[in-house]
Amino acid sequence: MIREELTEKILDIKREKGWTWKHITTEIGGMSEVLVVGALLGQMKLVKPLAAKAAELFGLSEVEARMLNEVPYRGMPMPPTDPLLYRFYELVMVNGPAWKALIEEEFGDGIMSAIDFDMQMERLPNVKGDRVKLTMSGKFLPYKYYGNEQGIPEVGFKED
């Protein structure tokens, strides 16, 4: 079995049982629902205790539980073709240069981590149509200025 087949098996069981992601993530627990769903979809890994809980919930074999614990090959072809995913891509294409400028002005020369990162999602009722609120928080990682001489900063934090 390859990882994509395990993802399809998990989705088939979810569909057959009529489970929601909320139900599944509550049963497995242990970390952010975004990470649990991401792992079940093949983009993240579950630590061994959570892989065991997922395997029990879905009736998976030991080998399949071990697959959930493996570091996956992450990502997808770009640009994404799914309309919802494409909108995130579009957000970055259109707003990315402004986000970059504002982050660099506030923090200095660096990046926002997508590894030391968390995100919350909530539904905001609105008479014009409910809104999706995403709150993202990533650690700022300054670029290291290697080979720096005396008086030159070691990292790209904002200079006073």
Please list the active-site residues.
87, 90, 113
Q: Is 23 helix (H, G, I), strand (E, B) or coil?
A: helix
The C-alpha atoms of residue 21 and residue 24 are separated, in whole angstroms, by 5
**Cβ 69 vs Cβ 38: under 8 Å:** no
Burial class from Cβ neighbours inside 10 Å (0-12, 13-18, 19+) for residue 133 reads: exposed
- CA dihedral (83, 76, 30, 23) positive or negative: positive
Rounded to 5°, angle at Cα 121 from 115 and 124: 155
